[in-house]
Amino acid sequence: MSKEEAKAISLKALVDKENNRVIFVESDEDFTDVLFSFLTMPMGTIIRLISNHNQPPTVGMGCMNNLYESIKNLDMQRFRTEACKTMLLCPRNGAAPQNKRLKLQIEDGELPRYFLCYTSCTLSGHKLLSLYPNAVCECGRLMDRTMELSEKTVKKLVFGARDRGVFVKGLTQFIITDELQVKPASTEASLSVVSKIGLMDCSAIEEYNIDIGVDEVLTLLKYSLVSKKPLTETLLKQNSASMFGKEDFDQSIYVESTVEEPESNVDGKIHVKLIISKSKKIVCFAEASEEFVDLVSSFLTIPLGYIIKEMQSSISKGSLTHLYNSVQELNAEKYLKSNEHKEMLINPKLAPDFSYENHPLGIEEGLQLHLTCSGKEHCGSYYKFQLTSDGEIPSGPKWKSSILTVKDPKSHFKEATRGGFVIGPTMFTVTDNLIITPISQVQHLSLLKKLKVPFSDIEERVVHVGSEKALRLLVASFVSEFALTNTFLRELNLK
């Protein structure tokens, strides 16, 4: 479905006329599902969508924009496969089959294509399938036969549900506050919201009927990251979301760290050399191997809901913590399609094949869809093919079918599966705000000059990144423009 073909969603908005703000909107499952789908979206997708929507870059996403642009600018030769760069810049959504049923499609709306080897290899040989072009089969040939799912499978996966709703049950009414708190509609809930903002009577309120389309949803996605009133700024077009950056990042959420991990605990962890300014107490840059770059670049593939789950509400500059908490508080049996659908939102998983062996965060992947390729013989040759899901094997004596295995897109070879995204052994420079470049001593001196750090003020320190530090780095990269400093020189103040 193209953006032009997408249907608008009608909302009723209650507006405080005197203060020109949205008090809440009333919505059925259509808009609520779209809002909840934000939590399933990988960070790389969010950055790409906002950028393609001609929205100015938002510094409210910490270092994520810098990370995305630096991966975009890295030479293709730095990646293990061509698919690796695509996976980081255009990551797949682990909840894509569900999101295809949303009334408004803000992600790429086309159904995925699949790439196979030549006929006999697919049906009788290696039986592989690739999600990305230019993959090499284990037989050595290019997997350049393009196929799409059969119409029957598409209907089952995407459009087969007769009941309405994607994540929430159909015909369920909700009220959504300006800061994206979602509550089942009731007189008690609406009066509570009105009372909370200090309205004493109905004379100051007015009802608006608003149609919201793809453009408005993309604007809302952006403002939800940086503003405490995203509905007002989207629907009333105030366009005044508070962008925050270096000068007003809340440093009070971190405390200086003086505790080093014992050397006995560093086995199996990633080693990173930090170049530190002793007087400024900042990380000027890091010298890092491909293992660290794999970790940092993988942040672009992580669903937004996973990051919100791991961060503290006190450091959320936008409204997404309210949205996340609303899902947590909803009774799944009464308001959501199932407990499984609730888990998709509050514990979103990576898309299949997006993790790799020994990933410090250990995020789970969603289940891979097993597909069946079937060919029908005619005069000794195959002239008809179908790509279907399990259990949809065509019947008849002339049909020959094979269950296909998805080839790891991060590897050219069978024996090298489950690796990361970047080729090694290679060293990289990683700046405090997560700009990644091939290592360069000239660049190092230029960075020190730019930061006005004299050579006498430099200290080298080797740190070890395990699961705890990896999680701190993920959160810091989302909320701060000093990701390395706030991960390795300070600790999150969780009290």
What tokens does 289 get?
Answer: 């191997």
Starting from the edge strand earliest in sequence, which strands make up the sheet with 9-16, in order?
Answer: 182-184, 174-177, 21-27, 9-16, 205-212
Tokens 């200086």 appear where? Answer: 256
Q: Which two tokens stand for residue 408?
A: 């790891």
Q: How confident is the model at residue 382 (pLDDT cuts 50, 70, 90)?
A: low
Q: Is residue 382 part of a domain?
A: no
The reply to whether 38 falls in a domain is: yes
Distance from C-alpha of 292 to C-alpha of 295, rounded to nearest angstrom: 5
Task: Check if the beta carbon of residue 341 is closer than 8 Å to that of residue 327.
Answer: no
At 481, the amino acid letter reads: E
Residue range 64-79: mean pLDDT, rounded: 96
SS3 98: helix
Q: How confident is the model at residue 396 (pLDDT cuts 50, 70, 90)?
A: low
Mean pLDDT of 179-190: 95
Beta bridge partners of 402: 373
Assigned domain for 367 exists:
no
Q: Quick check: helix, strand or coil at residue 119?
A: helix
pLDDT score recorded for residue 3: 44
At how many degrees (to 10) do helices 339-346 and 320-329 cross?
Answer: 160
Q: Who wins on pLDDT, 141 or 372?
A: 141
Number of structural domains found in the chain: 1
Spatial distance between the Cα atoms of 70 and 368, rounded to a whole number of angstroms: 30
Task: Write b or e for each residue in 69-83: b if 16 or more Cβ atoms lie within 10 A of its Cβ, otherwise e.
Answer: bbbeebeeebbbbeb
At residue 64's C-alpha, the angle toward residues 92 and 305, to 5°, is 55
Where does the pLDDT of residue 126 fall: very low under 50, low under 70, confident under 90, or very high at 90 and above?
confident
Is the pLDDT at 286 greater than 50? The verdict is yes
**Would residue 125 count as lying in a domain?**
no
Question: Taking the CB of residue 111, how many other CB atoms lie within 10 A of it?
Answer: 14
Domain assignment present for residue 352? The answer is yes
pTM comes to 0.89
Q: What mean pLDDT is reported for the chain?
A: 84
Q: For residue 131, is it within any domain? A: no
pLDDT confidence bin for 223, thresholds 50/70/90: very high
pLDDT-wise least confident of 244-248, 271-275, 347-351: 244-248
Establish if 399 belongs to a structural domain: no
d(CA 9, CA 28): 9
Residue with tokens 């070879």: 413
Judge whether 140 lies within some domain. Answer: no
Residue 150, helix vs strand vs coil: coil
Q: Is the pLDDT of residue 160 over 60?
A: no
In this structure, of 14-18, 196-200, 258-262, 365-369, the range with the lowest mean pLDDT score is 258-262
Domain of 332, in residue numbers: 9-112+148-356+410-492
Closest CA to 131 of 350, 409, 369: 409
Angle among Cα 250, 317, 30 to the nearest 5 degrees reads 170
